């Protein structure tokens, strides 16, 4: 999503961008994506039901009041803020349901990713975001996770603070700039501790998974059917660990591992986005509006030089902001997720910046991805919720000197984004709320078959992460699309769509080692 040295992290919430881009992709490839609906097979009842602690029974038995909300049904679900002390404070989840267009097979919960993405928005656009096979047979249910978007949203940062973080200079910094960087890195922790306490301390992915089980029960489902993308796969993984007997049909698309450290995740993504940048440059050279001429390596180096020049001499924007190199790198990174729709926009914006000295198009692209509106306000609290979830889950405790060492090392493997991505994790080193941190994935052998989905060239969630998780989930399946881009379902491959739809409707996994071509 938006600009920043601190906010550039590869798996922070690009929900707005993914949502908008997916709509565009769906419009372009709808005919190619649509597949004949496989006949459905009833979802089996669970063999056993997870026991509900007495202190949680009132949450599991609450009665919902659904109301019309623009072509859908909406409600709120109350959950405990702290599952270790459920009798104390509570929080509410905003929920939307788009009813099945045909004979209902069950409910399908969906999450688009993040942390910080709106499941509510994602599900409300179900008719555009999913195939007919899904919307005909399932009630599509979206939940804004606790503290996110419209579910008692936390607020840690002001709009002005987000703008400041977005322009932080992190390349070849002076001693004074490093001191300023350290001060700015404390803003998310200070803001959450002051403005969002105690809620921010309970936004772990484990709590989100527990919330989903209450949601499953109160909408009347015995099984939890789920499609999660990107960070949504982490929620699904946690759910399968906690409630294996309740898992129904679960699709995890673009796997984000729950058992890696923050620097471990981000280093891999630095490599992924560097390759995506190279792929963009190669494609750029085949078009007349590429901002630079020359070989692929020359164009890449010229763009990196542009970013470095912007760090030294930022462009003053009419709204008071500055287009720094960090800002520009983040804008570029956020348009490397979906090559089909994103490359032309990014190419044009860079061309205008380089050859017409017009920064407005690149800034506009960045603002669209980050949800920054024309009045300077950010539509949702994606930045606040990203830090709250990520820093709590990953428990990153390295010092500024250690992060500086990471930045130096990552610059060698990712000359475009490495330093930005390294410094982008520094705010988590200051996080006041504690949790268990990453742990080995342990899922019971009795869990129902789960389908994993990936692309061969996904910069944010590489295919190896899906392969690793498949080895940890008994009876799971994996289908891979040989293509560039982030997540695979309903992105243009009828092969992927048929496999996912067949699994959701019949429970049948694709054959082992199935790979879809990019034809």
pLDDT confidence band for 513 (50 / 70 / 90) = confident
For range 389-405, the mean pLDDT: 96
Output the pLDDT for position 405: 96
Q: Is residue 472's pLDDT more than 70?
A: yes
Torsions phi, psi for 37 (to 5 deg): -70, 120
For domain 54-152+200-257+439-517, give the fold.
Answer: Rossmann fold (3.40.50)
CA 235 – CA 79 distance, rounded (Å): 16
Other CB atoms within 10 A of residue 381 CB: 22
pLDDT, one tens digit per residue, over 122-137 is 999 999 999 999 999 9
C-beta separation of 9 from 173 below 8 A: no
Residue bearing tokens 């961008």: 17
The whole model's pTM is what?
A: 0.92
Mean pLDDT of all residues in the chain? 91
Domain residue spans of the chain: 54-152+200-257+439-517, 159-197+261-430
354 closest CA partner among 302, 279, 286:
302
pLDDT, one tens digit per residue, over 420-446 is 999 999 999 999 999 999 999 999 999
Measured CA distances, 344 to 19, 31, 324 (Å): 18, 22, 22
Question: Residue 225 CA to chain centroid, in angstroms?
Answer: 20
* CB crowding 17-27: b at 16 or more within 10 Å, else e: bbbebbeebbe
Q: Assign 3-state DSSP to the chain and report helix, strand, coil percentages, each to 5.
A: 45, 15, 40
pLDDT confidence band for 176 (50 / 70 / 90) = confident
pLDDT confidence band for 384 (50 / 70 / 90) = very high
For range 475-491, the mean pLDDT: 97
Output the pLDDT for position 48: 54
CA 127 – CA 104 distance, rounded (Å): 15
Phi and psi based region of residue 189 (left: phi greater than 0; alpha: psi -120 to 50; beta: remaining)? alpha
25 vs 416 pLDDT, higher one: 416
């Amino acid at each position: 999503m938006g600009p920043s040295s601190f906010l550039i992290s590869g798996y922070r919430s690009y929900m707005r961008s993914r949502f908008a881009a997916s709509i565009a992709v769906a419009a372009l490839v709808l005919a190619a994506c649509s597949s004949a609906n496989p006949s459905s097979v009833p979802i089996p009842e669970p063999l056993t039901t997870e026991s509900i602690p007495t202190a949680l029974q009132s949450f599991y038995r609450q009665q919902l009041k659904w109301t019309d909300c623009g072509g859908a049904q909406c409600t709120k679900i109350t959950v405990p803020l702290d599952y270790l002390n459920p009798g104390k404070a509570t929080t509410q989840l905003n929920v939307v349901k788009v009813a099945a267009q045909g004979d209902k097979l069950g409910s399908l919960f969906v999450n688009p990713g993040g942390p910080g993405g709106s499941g509510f928005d994602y599900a409300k656009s179900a008719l555009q975001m999913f195939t007919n096979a899904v919307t005909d047979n399932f009630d599509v249910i979206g939940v804004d996770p606790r503290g996110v978007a419209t579910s008692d949203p936390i607020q840690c940062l002001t709009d002005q603070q987000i703008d400041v973080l977005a322009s932080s200079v992190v390349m070849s910094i002076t001693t004074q700039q490093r001191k300023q960087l350290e001060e700015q890195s404390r803003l998310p922790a200070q803001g959450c501790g002051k403005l969002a306490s105690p809620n921010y301390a309970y936004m772990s992915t484990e709590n989100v998974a527990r919330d989903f089980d209450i949601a499953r029960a109160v909408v009347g489902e015995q099984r939890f059917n789920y499609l999660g993308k990107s960070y949504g796969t982490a929620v699904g993984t946690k759910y399968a660990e906690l409630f294996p007997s309740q898992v129904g049909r679960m699709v995890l698309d673009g796997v984000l591992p729950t058992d890696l450290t923050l620097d471990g995740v981000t280093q891999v993504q630095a490599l992924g986005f560097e390759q995506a940048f190279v792929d963009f440059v190669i494609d750029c050279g085949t078009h007349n509006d590429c901002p630079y001429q020359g070989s692929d390596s020359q164009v890449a180096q010229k763009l990196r030089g542009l970013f470095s020049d912007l760090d030294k001499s930022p462009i003053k924007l009419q709204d008071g902001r500055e287009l720094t190199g960090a800002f520009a790198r983040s804008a570029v990174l956020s348009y490397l997720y979906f090559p089909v729709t994103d490359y032309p926009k990014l190419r044009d914006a860079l061309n205008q910046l380089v050859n017409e000295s017009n920064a407005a198009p690149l800034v506009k692209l960045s603002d669209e991805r980050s949800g920054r509106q024309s009045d300077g306000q950010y539509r949702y609290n994606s930045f606040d919720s990203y830090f709250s979830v990520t820093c709590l889950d990953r428990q990153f405790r390295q010092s500024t000197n250690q992060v500086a060492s990471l930045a130096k090392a990552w610059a060698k493997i990712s000359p475009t984004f490495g330093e930005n991505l390294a410094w982008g994790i520094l705010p988590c080193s200051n996080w006041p709320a504690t949790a268990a941190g990453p742990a080995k994935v342990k899922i019971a052998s009795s869990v129902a078959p789960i389908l994993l989905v990936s692309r061969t060239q996904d910069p944010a969630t590489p295919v190896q992460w899906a392969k690793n998780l498949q080895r940890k989930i008994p009876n799971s399946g994996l289908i891979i699309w040989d293509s560039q881009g982030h997540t695979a379902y309903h992105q243009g491959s009828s092969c992927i769509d048929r496999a996912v739809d067949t699994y959701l409707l019949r429970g049948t996994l694709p054959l082992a080692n199935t790979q879809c071509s990019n034809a």
